[in-house]
Structure 1
Amino acid sequence: MIELKNIDVTFEDKEQTVKAVQEVSLTVEKGDIYGIVGYSGAGKSTLVRTINLLQRPTAGQVIVKNQELSVLSPKELRTARKKIGMIFQHFNLMRARTVAGNVAYPLKGSELTKEEIGQRVDELLELVGLADKKQAYPSQLSGGQKQRVAIARALANDPEVLLCDEATSALDPKTTGSILELLKRLNKKLDLTIVIITHEMQVVKEICNKVAVMDDGRVIESGDLVSVFTAPKAKLTNEFINTATHADQALEKIRKHPSLLDLHANDSLARITYVGESTSTPLIASLYAQFGVTTNILFGNVEILQETPIGNLIVVLNGDKHQRDKAIAYLESKQVKVDLIDTSHTVIPLRRTKIS
């Protein structure tokens, strides 16, 4: 559906040259909800604007539905852009127009009659849950309602792709959840391919099936959501994931309570991650039964990502070192990842295993 090949975007002025995007290649399949995550200045918003050529790349190819957009004539590009909707952080609604007027605006100059435009607007407002706000003005709406109007407007020309540039950043957590649920529903109902730009891995976790992590204009890691979450390769990816799973906050709190970390010679602090079928297996109980290793659970949660359960535990393993090593080997044999944590400095994975 979308293929970015070796995309570079460079901005130049008299004083400096900024390489906003560097050698990025991504493939977004039809029906994907693809998340691109990174801190401010990573280049993600610039990258997403190349998909509809709002930002022309300095180098590389942008291919959407087997069309290379950069070689299209202005008229052909306008036609292609109609099939790529876009929503933004600050909604970009026209204050002087009603909700209906905002949604109808992209249809101005189309071949539809006034009655057909009205019918299309009604359908879209019903779709986003705002049928009763048709004659309201943006100033009368909440932030979530404004974003729903922006989504309806972006869908006016029946696009096949929806680009979301920090679309939930200005919303509170509850409203963010409702907008993400709406996007998931539209993805399924309309067979809509969605690309989401965000600095919050929590957003990616809630909605995306694939993710790319950007830093300093480059994609440093990408893949399907479950693989990236359970076996991150880049340090930055691990930081985002720890924030989204609350593991980093849990470790920080544990460190501030010395009584919890009164470790002795036969103790090890560890983070345990387990996926899929392993989540429902009584592995912790098995450690004592088979190896005499007791497990004190300091933190635990279970996430459901793309219908796959993923468990995270921070534990203290107690027992003879030889038995602890055997217990860890047992966990690894069950496709469980074990990170031993050095408690003297920042968290340092001492032992890692790949989940198959």
Structure 2
Amino acid sequence: MIELKQVDVVFTQKKKTTIAVSNVNLSVEKKDIFGIVGYSGAGKSTLVRLINLLQRPTSGEVIIDGVDLTKISHRTLRQQRKQIGMIFQHFNLFNARTVFDNVAFALKYSGLKKAERTEKVTSLLQLVGLEDKAQAYPSQLSGGQKQRVAIARALASDPKILLCDEATSALDPKTTIQILELLQKLNRELDLTIVLITHEMQVVKEICNKVAVMEDGQIIEQGRALDIFSQPQKALTKDFIRTATHIDQALATILEHPQFSNLSPNEWLVELSYVGDETDQPLIAQLFSRFQVTTNILYGNVEIIQGTALGTLVVVLTGNHNQKQKVFDYLKKHRVNATLLKEAHSKHQNLTLVGGA
């Protein structure tokens, strides 16, 4: 569906050269919800604008449905762009037009008769849940409703691809979830391929089946969302994920408590993580009966990524040193990653023991 091959974007201004995108290779399949995540300035927005050639690459190929957009005429490009809708952070609605007219504007040169345009706009507003707001003006809408109007307008040309550039960044958390649920619905019901640009891994976690992580104009890691969340390879990816799953926040709170910041000599602070149904028996409950090691659970979290559970526990293990080491080996055997975070009198953080993650 979408292929970027060895794409570079270089800007030159007043003898200053800026590399916005560097040697990017990306493949998005039909019906993917593909997340591209990175901090501000990573090159995400430039990258997404390549897909409809609003930004031409300095070098490389941009292939949509087998057609290299960099090698076709302007007239053909205009036709190809009808396959690609786009929504933005700030909605870009016409404030002096009604909701109906904002959506209808996208059909101005469609060749449809007035009755056909009316029918289509009405059906689009029904699709995004705004049929009762047709005669309202943007100033009368909430942020989420404005984004729904923008989505309806983007769908007016029956695109195969929808590009979302920070489309939920201006919305509150509850409204963000509602918009993401709408995008999932459109992906499912219209076979719509969605490319979603964001700086929030939480957004990726909610709906994306694949993800690419950008830093300094390059894609440093990409793959299935489940694989990226369960086995991140790069430091930036790990940082994004731990922020989205609130693990670091939980650890900071735990370590602020005197009881856990000053462990007893026989105590370890440990992080446990697992994927899916790999833990098909109550392992934690068995640690005392098998190894005489007690487990105090301080924090637990389960994320559902593409229908698969990712679990995290932060615990204090109390017992003999050798027995605690046997616990690590036992957990590894049952495909639970165990990482020693802190032990009494240790200055080392995130130290992984033999048998750990």
Alignment TM-score, normalising by the size of structure 1: 0.96
Tell me which residue corresponds to 1:177: 177
Tell me which residue corresponds to 2:293: 293
For residues 76 and 322 of structure 1, what CA distance do their matches in structure 2 show? 70
For residues 160 and 354 of structure 2, what CA distance do their matches in structure 1 show? 41
> Any idea what SS the aligned residue of 1:110 has?
coil
> Any idea what SS the aligned residue of 2:206 has?
helix
The residue type equivalent to 2:172 in the other structure is: D
Contact 1:279 1:311 in 2 (8 A): no
CA drift of 1:345 comes to 6.1
Tell me which residue corresponds to 2:310: 310
- Equivalences for residues 1-356 of structure 1 within 5 A: 1-279=1-279, 281-342=281-342, 347-351=349-353
Q: Percent identity?
A: 60
For residues 91 and 305 of structure 2, what CA distance do their matches in structure 1 show? 28
- Computed over aligned residues only, the root mean square deviation of the Cα atoms, in angstroms, reads 1.6
Contact 1:279 1:309 in 2 (8 A): no
> Any idea what SS the aligned residue of 1:348 has?
coil
> Any idea what SS the aligned residue of 1:341 has?
strand
CA drift of 1:342 comes to 4.2
For residues 303 and 22 of structure 1, what CA distance do their matches in structure 2 show? 33
CA drift of 1:37 comes to 0.6
> Any idea what SS the aligned residue of 1:146 has?
helix
The residue type equivalent to 2:131 in the other structure is: A
CA drift of 1:335 comes to 1.4
Contact 1:211 1:225 in 2 (8 A): yes
> Any idea what SS the aligned residue of 1:171 has?
coil
Name whichever of 200-209 and 310-319 sits farther off.
310-319
Contact 1:279 1:310 in 2 (8 A): no
Deviation by residue 1:41-68 (Cα, 9 ceiling, x = unmatched): 1111110110000111111111111111
The residue type equivalent to 1:204 in the other structure is: V
- Residues 130 and 354 of structure 1, relative CA distance in 2, 3 Å threshold: farther
Contact 1:338 1:352 in 2 (8 A): no
Name whichever of 308-317 and 118-127 sits farther off.
308-317
> Any idea what SS the aligned residue of 2:150 has?
helix
> Any idea what SS the aligned residue of 2:106 has?
helix
For residues 352 and 159 of structure 1, what CA distance do their matches in structure 2 show? 52
- Residues 336 and 6 of structure 1, relative CA distance in 2, 3 Å threshold: same
Contact 1:9 1:21 in 2 (8 A): yes
Deviation by residue 1:163-200 (Cα, 9 ceiling, x = unmatched): 00000000000100100010011110001110100000
CA drift of 1:266 comes to 2.3
For residues 154 and 280 of structure 1, what CA distance do their matches in structure 2 show? 45
For residues 105 and 347 of structure 1, what CA distance do their matches in structure 2 show? 58
The residue type equivalent to 1:36 in the other structure is: I
CA drift of 1:354 comes to 9.3
For residues 108 and 269 of structure 1, what CA distance do their matches in structure 2 show? 63
Contact 1:4 1:62 in 2 (8 A): yes
For residues 279 and 29 of structure 1, what CA distance do their matches in structure 2 show? 32
For residues 248 and 310 of structure 1, what CA distance do their matches in structure 2 show? 16
CA drift of 1:265 comes to 2.7
CA drift of 1:260 comes to 2.2
The residue type equivalent to 1:310 in the other structure is: L
CA drift of 1:230 comes to 0.8
Deviation by residue 1:83-137 (Cα, 9 ceiling, x = unmatched): 1000000001111211111111121111211111110000000000000111111
Contact 1:342 1:350 in 2 (8 A): no
For residues 194 and 76 of structure 2, what CA distance do their matches in structure 1 show? 22
> Any idea what SS the aligned residue of 2:214 has?
strand
CA drift of 1:74 comes to 0.6
For residues 22 and 258 of structure 2, what CA distance do their matches in structure 1 show? 45
For residues 99 and 235 of structure 1, what CA distance do their matches in structure 2 show? 44
CA drift of 1:351 comes to 4.4
For residues 53 and 353 of structure 1, what CA distance do their matches in structure 2 show? 49
Contact 1:221 1:234 in 2 (8 A): yes
Name whichever of 282-291 and 180-189 sits farther off.
282-291
Deviation by residue 1:276-305 (Cα, 9 ceiling, x = unmatched): 113553111122221111111111111111
Gapped regions of structure 1 (runs ≥ 5): none
The residue type equivalent to 2:268 in the other structure is: S
> Any idea what SS the aligned residue of 1:41 has?
coil
Contact 2:273 2:312 in 1 (8 A): yes
CA drift of 1:262 comes to 2.7
Deviation by residue 1:123-167 (Cα, 9 ceiling, x = unmatched): 000000000111111111110000000000000011110000000
The residue type equivalent to 1:79 in the other structure is: Q
Contact 2:275 2:309 in 1 (8 A): yes
